[in-house]
Each structure stands twice: as C-alpha cells, then as structure tokens.
Amino acid sequence: QVQLVESGGGLVQAGGSLRLSCAASGRASSSIDMGWFRQAPGKGREFVAAIRWSGSSTYYADSVKGRFTMSRDNAKNTVYPQMNSLKPGDTCLYYCAEDRRYDASYCDPLVYKYWGQGTQVTVSS
C-alpha cells in the first residue's frame, strides 16, 4: 500500500522560504514521477510542480517558476519542494500525488492514483 506523508508547511512572512517534503512509502519502482498541487478555499486544485523519479526532469507551473525548486532523495522515496520568495498568493493547502498514468499529463490531478492529506502553507503580508 502506498502512503504519502507531507510535512514542512507552516506560517511564514512574505519573501520568506519553506521546504516541504513528501515521503512515498511503498512506492512502486515503475512510478514515473511525483506531482505537487495546491488548493485555495473555494478554488480548484492547481498544478504546482512535478519531478521524475529517474533522470533530472522537473516541471513547474508558470506561477512558481524561478521561486520553487524540486529535488528528491530516491533512497528515502522523498521529494522536497524548496519554496523561496513566498507571496501571500502562495497560501494554500499543498498536496503531493503519486503513480501517474504513463500516457497522461503530469499536470492533470485526475491521472494520479495516490494522494497525501496535505500540508498548510500560510504566507503573511
């Protein structure tokens, strides 16, 4: 059974930084990548970033390019989104997702099989 556990969220002032993590226990060796999404109250789930489990490919939404950086530790099955220059608009519940369909887009939340329960990021002005 795959279990995803997010951590690292919290309260930070605008311009500050946070480092999130998601540990994917029981991840299948065939898993392609891990996706990250965020959701604000009253809005849909928004793609943030994704990282491949092999190679060096990363993907970022335009809203976070240049500010967020994805990294991973395969031995720990853990992905670390480093979030810098945070803005109040980044305030959201952040989710990690695993086991994307091989023939689907990494930015589509519907193609992921497993989801964490989310970690709250709050950025004050």
pLDDT tens for each residue of 60-102:
999 999 999 999 999 999 999 999 999 999 999 999 999 998 8
Parallel, antiparallel, or unpaired for β 119-124 and 58-60? unpaired
Q: Report how far residue 87's alpha carbon sits from residue 95's, in angstroms, rounded to the nearest whole number.
A: 18
pLDDT at 73: 96
With CA atoms as reference, report the closest residue to 87 among 117, 125, 48: 125
Q: How sure is the predictor about 36, in pLDDT bands with cuts at 50, 70 and 90? A: very high
pLDDT at 1 over 90: no
With CA atoms as reference, report the closest residue to 35 among 84, 104, 91, 92: 104
Classify 16 as helix, strand or coil.
coil
pLDDT at 103: 85
| Region 3-12 average pLDDT | 97
- What's the alpha-carbon Rg for the chain, to the nearest Å? 14
pLDDT at 93: 98
